[in-house]
Amino acid sequence: METVTGRVAAQVARLARYTGPLLIVLVSASCGFVIGVTASTVRIAP
């Protein structure tokens, strides 16, 4: 039972190591996209 838990924990840790930076990039990209769309909308509207 402990070995299975250990394996799962190791896989989660490994996944988190790869997902962490990817998540940061994804959040930054989505924030940039939202800001860009907002800026475009503000320019067009008034």
Residue 21 neighbours by CB under 8 Å, 6+ apart: none
pLDDT at 44: 74
Q: Taking residues 24-29, what's their average pLDDT?
A: 93
pLDDT above 70 coverage of the chain, percent: 91
In this structure, the number of other CB atoms found within 10 A of the CB of residue 37 comes to 10
pLDDT at 43: 79
